[in-house]
Homo-oligomer: A and B are copies of this chain.
Amino acid sequence: MELYKNKKMLEEKVFKDPIHRHIHVRDQVIWDLIKTKEFQRLRRIKQLGTLYLTFHTAEHSRFNHSLGVYEIVRRMIDENFEGRDTWNSDNRLVALCAALLHDIGHGPFSHSFEKIFNTNHEQFTNDIIIGETEVNRVLSTVHESFPAEVASIIDKTHKDKLLISMISSQIDADRMDYLQRDAFYTGVSYGSFDMERILRVMRPTEEEIVIKESGMHAVEDYLMSRYQMYWQVYFHPVSRGGEVILNLVLKRAKQLYQQGYAFNTIPKHLLPFFNENVSVKDYIRLDEAVIYYYLQEWIEEDDEILSDLARRFVHRDLFKYLPFDGSQITIMELTELFEQAGINPEYYFFSDSYSDLPYDYDRPGSKSNRKPIHLLSRNKKIKEISSQSVIINSITGKKRQDFKLYYPKEKIMNIQDESIKTKILNLLNELH
């Protein structure tokens, strides 16, 4: 049994990768996990969901990113931690598996699905690792308790906090991979930071990874990259416009199903979701190809709203958006006016808010329970980073929030009743 845990392949497998140049796999367990159908399925789920509708080159998959996180954790261990007193070599494999599988429970367009169908990718991550899957079979071969141990790192209940911090903390392998990868694929320059340096200045402790004081500036740069990627890419309003439509079309399909609507093509893969009773097997069968298949079928459906929203998503005919101040009064007024004009506000009017907190930590007066990033000084003292860095101090706990309204411009312009139309346009103009 233990042999499998340590088994190395005769020849190292090397994946070419534009972010890490090469991803190296020597452990048989890792190779066997990559070959499972649950992991291969990540090839059919985009890392950034609908974002490619704005950043047209952001077409990379979660398969991509998962290998990347694995590689970063592998390098942390093999190039830095191994040989240090505070690192337990015995944890190498479990850390690698957790890194590789941390996103295994993601489905297609997870954010929209969770919102509309009350699913939970974290729950499914656990279920795939623990349940009857190929992934579970590989992990169980290491040891019967191994799957649960892997899962407990990902869901942050493992007793070894260091292992958790490697993939889930404010400076972890997950973020370091996705910031660089998403920047590369979107073609923006903001995601770059000196990961090589960060990998060299990390030090394992019992509780977490800490950063040698001399690496503080590299962490500053990393946090700024994160901040920039959020506002320039992830929260880009056009991009969120894709998700808005997807939310609405899924919501419509679910509502129609619940009302007993007779679909021309029955979306059989989605029925468990409509019923909010989804098994692991149902979940695994779903990928973006399946969703796109139904979306294209729905264009031909008789329900006008379903058909229109599906067409808008597939052919990228997005809503217009406006920034606004978050006032509920404006929203209520507009909702009413839309109804008077015969435009269903439930599906054609959407207010979106999003926020980001670039860095924070649990402290008196803070609502955050995040663990801080700690620096290790020359004389081995531990210091919270914002107490040392002017830059980081300045952004600590500073939440930034934005509001946007989405609506179909041409439907407004086609309103027959000139008085309602004028009222709507005036209200929208005021928002500018």
Contact = CB atoms under 8 A, between A and B. Distances in A.
Nearest to A187: B18
Interface in A8-50: 15-18, 21-22, 35-37, 40, 43-44
A285 interface: yes
Interface stretch (A135-143, A165-173, A217-225, A409-417): A217-225
A189 B184 contact: no
Interface residues of A, number: 64
Interface in A91-135: none
B60 A57 contact: yes
Interface stretch (A202-210, A288-296, A418-426): A288-296
A391 B290 contact: no
Interface string A181-208: 0001111111011101000000000000
Contacts of A315: 35-37, 40
A55 interface: yes
A400 interface: yes
A35 to B, nearest CB: 7
Contacts of A391: 224, 227, 394-395
B189 A192 contact: yes
Nearest to A37: B315
A309 interface: no
Contacts of A44: 292
Contact of A37 (B55, B59, B314): B314
Q: Which of A22, A287, A296, A378 has the most CB of B within 10 A?
A: A296
A67 interface: yes
Interface in A362-391: 378-379, 390-391
Nearest to A193: B189
A192 B193 CA distance: 9
Contacts of A57: 16-18, 60, 64
B296 A292 contact: no
Nearest to A230: B217
A355 interface: no
Contacts of A275: none
Given A40-B315, A40-B316, A289-B296, 13 more contacts: A15-B56, A35-B315, A37-B315, A43-B56, A43-B59, A56-B67, A59-B61, A192-B192, A217-B228, A227-B391, A290-B292, A390-B394, A391-B395
Shortest Cβ-Cβ A-B pairs, 9 listed: A394-B394, A289-B292, A18-B187, A293-B293, A37-B315, A289-B289, A16-B187, A189-B194, A224-B224
